[in-house]
Amino acid sequence: MFYDYKTGKKRVLGILNDTNDISEVDRIPSDQEFTYENGYYGWVASVFVDIRKSTELFVDNRKTSTAKIIRAFTSEIIEILRDDGNLREIGIRGDCVYAIYTTPQKKDIYELACKAFCVNTFLKMLNTLLNKKKMKTIQAGIGLAVNQDLVIKAGRKQSGINSKVWIGKAVTYASKLSNIANSDKNHNGILMTSCFYNNIIELLIDSVPNNNIKTWFTSYCDSGVGDFYGCNIVMSDFDSWVTGGMEDE
């Protein structure tokens, strides 16, 4: 047998008997501070951007155009999400782009919300350009969540195969919401947990005075996620440029 199960038992017991050092922190540290023996507990927020009906897109016979669409989608969303000192992980899972941040303050959560609004506007730009090229347009759902979660490094020592594991609601709920955002259930394009909404709403009201901001949101409830909120907010200058024909200055 290729697997040495007796040695494997010793490794498992070594892990189970270890007194893991879990630290509650204001900010989740960068990768180099993680070991196989420690872990960190702190406020984490994440965003997932998931293409709707991607199976139909992936089986399209026009493979070259499909590849261009996916590359344009992932390239610019990564560009929007990556420029942040609080970023702790960013990647692509199939038809979804995701990013995870440490968010010790409300303003950090609000900044992530603004990134989501920018992504929502970019999707409008992308579809406008796809229409001009007579290519298939896409729909995507954006999910946002924040929670005080546990983060550990997991994998196999000395194998080079390891990754951070985010244990809690911030990642799982953002992923779930991205799966139902902009769906046939008439959900908005951006969905966020109630905790995320409660942390950004006052800052959003302060940033856009003289508007009844709360009317921009719709409240929902789901047995798997609980209470959450939806909106279709876009960045006004960006949206006006797209609507105005996207002429370069």
pLDDT tens digit sequence for 220-236: 998 888 999 999 999 99
The domain containing residue 169 runs over which residues? 36-243
Could you report the per-residue pLDDT of 60-106, keeping only the tens digit for each? 656 778 888 889 999 999 999 998 999 999 999 988 999 999 999 99
Question: Which structure tokens are listed for 53?
Answer: 């009906």
User: Which segments in the chain show pLDDT lower than 50?
Assistant: none
Identify whether the C-beta of residue 28 lies closer than 8 Å to the C-beta of residue 102: yes
18: in domain: no
Q: What predicted TM-score, i.e. pTM, was given to this entire model?
A: 0.91
C-beta atoms surrounding 22 within 10 Å: 13
pLDDT of residue 6: 85
CATH number for the domain harbouring residue 104: 3.30.70.1230
pLDDT of residue 141: 96
Task: Annotate 135-160 with b (16+ C-beta within 10 A) or e (fewer).
Answer: beebebbbbbbbbebebbbeeeeeee
pLDDT reported for residue 58: 65
- Can you say how many angstroms the Cα of residue 169 is from the centroid of all Cα atoms in its chain? 12
Residue 199: inside a domain: yes
Instruction: Name the CA radius of gyration of the chain, rounded.
Output: 20
Q: Which of 77, 68, 76 is nearest to 98 (CA)?
A: 77
Say how many domains are in the chain.
1
Q: Is 9 a member of any domain?
A: no
